[in-house]
Amino acid sequence: MAGLLALALVAAACTGDAIDDTASSDAAEEEADADEAEEADESDEADEEETVELTQDEAIEFTIQTGVPATSVYHAVIEDFGERISVMSNGRLDATVVPSGGVVGALEILDAVNDDVIPVGFAWSNYWNGKNAAAALFSNPPVGSTGMDQNTSLAWMYDGGGLELYTRLYQEEIGVNVMPMPVCPMGPDPFGWFGEKITSLEDLQGIPFRSPPGLPGDSFNKVGMEAIAMPGSEIIPAANSGLIEGAEWISPSDDTALGFQDVWDNYYLQGLHQSTDIGEMLFNVDWFEGLPADLQEIIRVAAQAAIVDCENLSITSNADAVTALQEQGINIWNTPPEFYEAFAGAWNEVAAELEESDPFFAEVRASQQAYAERVMPYRLTITELYQTIGETYFPEKVGADPSE
């Protein structure tokens, strides 16, 4: 009996200890969880404070120079690009956008970006045609280089190997520390402005004409015009001095912003010299690669967003500008059909000569040709639908001179 009582007491004692240990363990765990939660809250607060501090202390201030005057609608597009990357980066990127001549001349932008005088510039690759003849193939090739339209040219860059060739152009062929991004499609560019009505190819012979540098100018020269390259800010003074008798720039909206309608009153809408016209953003490689990965991606996405901005701008603003020009009494004409065949033939001669003398030029154009052959039959077939729809709804306006 005494033995049984002793065993019972031992069992009770053991059970009580187990209960006490369990309670103590639970209390300890609760206390540890509370400590961890408190530490997590403190850590979150510290992270929030650190994030705010980084945003304030590590803002990267830099300059973007455009190759257009401050009055240009495309200067405004790049200003919007600067604001967009500031918002997307929560203020960590702080861009100041200045117009042509703000730091260097428009035709000096590439060298200025290479030398890190400015880390970022906006221009067109055909501006650097004197450094490499293939440059214009990425922005303003006559007749779409191989018959591509503007959207197809952009698709070639992203899906057809064009961006890789574009980068090689700068870093290997020209030899500069620069990385390009397509940023603003703005074509097709009108043929241009003239003092007198142009009814035939003969009317163009010998006319001193402001043209883009490089391949478009070479092609204009072959059809008998006298192509003269100059930045947009110099066109009106050159016209007033008599240096040029006609000019093209970019688009109805931007031509109007520069005041072309105050000099000439005959405007021809369809141009082959820049049927595609894609502006570029140039980045100093060391500057760009020195950015954190998230800021690099913000810039890439903002550049693609600017492409959409420019496509919308080209539709809306140009249509409004043509209407306003008509109301002002400007004569707006379709380009004489015989010009198309003559200019396309001139371009093919220019391109063939360069393909023989420049292996990189030939490689780029072969890439464009292969992509065009792959996609253009489908694209032309499907886009014919829009032409048919337009003719159905606007039968008296499609294909007629807008001034009639």
What pLDDT digit, counting tens, does each position of 109-139 carry? 999 999 999 999 999 998 999 999 999 999 9
Instruction: Write out residues in the chain with pLDDT < 70, as ranges.
Output: 1-57, 398-404
CB of 266 closer than 8 Å to CB of 195: yes
The whole-angstrom separation of Cα 369 and Cα 151 is 15
Predicted confidence at residue 158, as pLDDT, reads 97
Beta-carbon contacts of 329 under 8 Å, excluding residues fewer than 6 positions away, are: 265
Beta-carbon contacts of 370 under 8 Å, excluding residues fewer than 6 positions away, are: 160
Domains of the chain: 58-187+278-311 (3.40.190.170), 192-274+329-371 (3.40.190.10)
Pairing of strands 278-284, 178-185: antiparallel
CB of 280 closer than 8 Å to CB of 124: yes
* Residue whose C-alpha is closest to residue 254's, from 336, 325, 308: 325
Predicted confidence at residue 399, as pLDDT, reads 65
* 80 exposure class (CB count in 10 Å sphere: 0-12, 13-18, 19+): middle
The one-letter amino acid at 15: T
CB of 375 closer than 8 Å to CB of 155: yes
